[in-house]
Amino acid sequence: MSELSLERGLNALRAEIDAPVAAFFSSCVHCGLCAEACLFYVETGDPKYTPITKLEPLRRVWEAEFTLFGRLKGLFGLNKKVTDEMLAEWEPLLYDSCSMCARCSMVCPVGNDIQYMIRKTREGMVAAGHAPEGLITAAARAVRTGSPMGLKWKTLQVQIDHVEASSGLQVPVDAEGADYLVMLSSMEIINFPEYLEAITKIFDHAGVSWTLSTDCYEATNAGIQIGNKDIAATLVQRIVDAAVKLKVKNVISPECGHAYTAVRWEGPNLIGKSYPFRVFHIIEVLEELRASGRIKTEGKEMDRLSLHDPCNLARKSGVIQQQRNLMDLVADNFVDLKEHGRYQWCCGAGGGVSSNERAAELKMTAFKRKKAQIEEVAPERMVTMCATCRTQLEEGLEDFNMDIPVVGLTEMIAEHLVEKNGDRKQ
């Protein structure tokens, strides 16, 4: 087994250069619009955070080895080489200052998917041994214990016991043939256990058959975040194995943005085959239940609420109207942030930034964009549906002394469900 090395890193970058990457690099018109779309650049004003700059290692390999001009330059020794020092210098640019929110990809006037290339460049960084410590340990724990935070099933079992005691409902575990297999993220198990209670109540209310799996209950994909397809595929395969074993029809991704895009969009490509089940975000499932009249609610939130769209859900997956329909169900005084939905600004914590301790300060600087957005509409509470976004919103608002609580949309729906007994009386 060889060690991670610059040579392996360069080879990984070469392997990642496909037709789209070649087209993107040759298409870049250096207009700089991606800079203005990136919260890390906008909030620091430091030009090194311009998204396209972050791709310099990949671009150099492409130019030197994949273009005629670069090859000619090479003959005269004019190419700038990618060195180990360069990769070390770029590591913070690729990991600390990019949440892979894809806002740069969206605004690029020539349609370059910069975020896609960041993901690819990280493959080279990992193979060259230049990944942040926080992400390495998270990936190692995810592969070894099944959770990037190292949680074992018994921790989840404790939460399940709590939920069952407080709701009086049973949380189905390893129920073969259920319609939905529910995946969680460690963040939801530790920080937001109310999520599990909420779906237990909602699914009981709507008569949905669902289950958790003791084989695989965590779907955060540390492989996607660190940028390694081997680790990412291992983690996706676990979900597939668990779902196949329990013969479920659908899998619900955790309320975690990158977990959702990893299992829904990238997973089949990673493992090289299609799923025998479908994948949804809980918001999509709830919206379908709402539309078919299976969720009955009473009462509405009267305070001024606003919504943070997770980038992976809204911008990358087009789930935008669904959460607003659900908001309408339970909120009377809802106001959208000025840039929302597809144009949402990232919270600053995604793409592995939150697992990377070195990035903690930069992450809070980037949060100023969200803070400014929130100040513009001055809501009394913020609502969201991604555990990472929610943690970042809570920490950020506290950091800036803003007294605005953050709630999960799923939990809010659960609070307004018509009680079963009340239902019968009517």
Using the contact rule CB under 8 A, the part of the chain among 24-32, 38-46, 179-187, 196-204 near another protein is: 24-32
Could you tell me which of 39, 21, 29 has the C-alpha nearest to residue 101? Answer: 39
Using the contact rule CB under 8 A, the part of the chain among 66-74, 112-120, 278-286, 367-375 near another protein is: 66-74
- Binds another protein by CB under 8 A, chosen from 79, 137, 155, 373: 137
Residues 382, 307: contact at Cβ < 8 Å?
A: yes
Query: What minimum distance in Å lies between the beta carbon of 102 and another protein?
Result: 18
Task: Name the 3-class secondary structure at 383.
Answer: strand
Which residues in the 67-86 window bind another protein by CB under 8 A? 67-68, 71
Using the contact rule CB under 8 A, the part of the chain among 135-143, 187-195, 248-256, 338-346 near another protein is: 135-143
Query: What minimum distance in Å lies between the beta carbon of 280 and another protein?
Result: 27
Question: One symbol per residue from 91 to 120: x for binding another protein (CB under 8 A), - otherwise; what is it?
Answer: ------------------xxx---------
Which residues in the 139-158 window bind another protein by CB under 8 A? 139-140, 143-144
- Alpha-carbon span 51 to 35, nearest angstrom: 6
Question: One symbol per residue from 25 to 64: x for binding another protein (CB under 8 A), - otherwise; what is it?
Answer: -xx-xxxxx-xx----------------------------
**Residue type, position 168, single letter:** G
Supply the DSSP string of 268-295, one letter for each residue: HHHHTS--SSEEEEHHHHHHHHHHTT--
Query: What minimum distance in Å lies between the beta carbon of 222 and another protein?
Result: 10
Residues 282, 413: contact at Cβ < 8 Å?
A: no
Which residues in the 166-205 window bind another protein by CB under 8 A? none
- Alpha-carbon span 285 to 150, nearest angstrom: 28
- Binds another protein by CB under 8 A, chosen from 46, 84, 161, 230: 230
Query: What minimum distance in Å lies between the beta carbon of 304 and another protein?
Result: 29
Taking the C-alpha atoms of 260, 265, 270 and 272 in order, what is their torsion angle to the nearest 10 degrees? 130
Q: With respect to another protein, which residue has the nearer C-beta, 9 or 257?
A: 9
Residues 91, 131: contact at Cβ < 8 Å?
A: yes
- In the numeric block, which tokens belong to residue 400? 């800036």
Examine residue 358 and tell whether it contacts another protein (CB under 8 A).
no
Could you tell me which of 342, 402, 409 has the C-alpha nearest to residue 367? Answer: 402
> How many degrees, rounded to 5, is the angle at CA 295 between CA 290 and CA 301?
90
Phi, psi of 296 (to 5 degrees): -115, 125
Examine residue 2 and tell whether it contacts another protein (CB under 8 A).
yes
Could you tell me which of 186, 88, 187, 84 has the C-alpha nearest to residue 132? Answer: 88
- Alpha-carbon span 184 to 210, nearest angstrom: 13
Instruction: Note the helical H segments in 110-152.
Output: 114-127, 133-145
- Count of positions on this chain that bind another protein (CB under 8 A): 47
- Binds another protein by CB under 8 A, chosen from 6, 12, 178, 251: 12
- Binds another protein by CB under 8 A, chosen from 37, 100, 106, 131: 131
Residues that bind another protein (CB under 8 A): 1-4, 8, 11-12, 14-15, 17-19, 22-23, 26-27, 29-33, 35-36, 65-68, 71, 109-111, 126-127, 129-131, 133, 136-137, 139-140, 143-144, 226, 228, 230-231
